[in-house]
Amino acid sequence: MNSFLRKFVQKAELIVEDFRKLCDPSMTCFEPEALGNLIEGMDFHKFYFDNSAGIRGPKIHTTTLLNPNVHLMGDEGACIAYIRLTQFIDRNGEARSRQAQETRVWQKRNGRGWVCVHVHRTGAPSSVNTADCHY
């Protein structure tokens, strides 16, 4: 494995580990990739990390959260709703954008701090399809 790919895989592994630290192991979600099904746990998300982590090179994209709205629910709960705008370069070298609407529910846990316990996303999938990306 060349040096660049090794470094990229190491960085992807850190991203997955950070994701696990931020999320409850039994987190639930409704996402476009789940085709309307309620998903519980991390295995569903791990599949996407494992199968898109730089296999064909890094993706060129930027994600911006627009109009975030936070609702505190006592001292141990919070809900944030926002628009996720993802800009990327498609396989033809053209700049494109995708939008998704997301709501995340967070719970404060002793010893762990804030963890995400539920995600609801509509619109575009969370990751840019590798077939659309320029490498």
Tens digit of pLDDT for each residue in 48-70?
A: 777 765 555 446 778 899 999 99
Q: Across all residues in the chain, what is the average pLDDT?
A: 80
- The domains located in the chain, with CATH, are 3-132 (3.10.450.50)
Among the listed ranges 36-40, 41-45, 50-54, 115-119, which one has the minimum average pLDDT value? 50-54
Torsion of CA 114, 33, 58, 63, to 10 degrees: -50
Please give the pLDDT value at position 135: 29
Between 89 and 134, residue with greater pLDDT: 89
How far apart are alpha carbons 124 and 132 in whole angstroms? 13
pTM of the predicted model as reported, rounded to 2 decimal places: 0.74
